[in-house]
């Protein structure tokens, strides 16, 4: 395989992948949205319990709210995807 052939096949692969994903996109989004909403609900419940435990241990409400926000960032899918995107850019 020459360099030109390898480069052409690399350029075609994303198009083939995109062509395979587009027809399945509605069902993927439907399934994903349900799971996403369930995970966000569980994260909110966990954050509520986390904050109550912090307050119960003697931490003031403002600090407990700030720590809860940090705790809930781990379940924020948008922030996770953007962090992956930024790390991919940094690798290039």
2-42 confidence digits (pLDDT tens) = 555 555 555 567 777 778 788 888 888 888 888 888 988 99
pLDDT for 9 equals 55
What's the pLDDT score for residue 76?
80
pLDDT tens-place string over residues 48-82: 999 999 999 999 999 999 999 998 888 887 777 78
Write out the DSSP string of 38-88: HHHHHHHHHHHHHHHHHHHTT--HHHHHHHHHHHHHTT-HHHHHHHHHHHH
Domain spans in the chain, listed from the N-terminal domain onward: 3-91
Q: How many CB atoms lie within 10 A of CB 51?
A: 20
From the CB of residue 39, how many other CB atoms can be counted at a distance below 10 Å? 12
């Amino acid at each position: 395989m020459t360099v030109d052939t390898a480069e052409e096949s690399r350029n075609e692969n994303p198009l083939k992948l995109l062509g395979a994903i587009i027809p399945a996109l509605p069902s993927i989004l439907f399934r994903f949205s349900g799971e996403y909403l369930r995970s966000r609900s569980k994260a909110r419940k966990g954050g509520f319990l986390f904050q109550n435990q912090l307050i119960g241990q003697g931490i003031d409400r403002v600090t407990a709210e700030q720590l809860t926000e940090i705790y809930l960032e781990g379940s924020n899918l948008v922030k996770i995807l953007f962090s992956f995107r930024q790390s991919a850019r940094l690798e290039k």
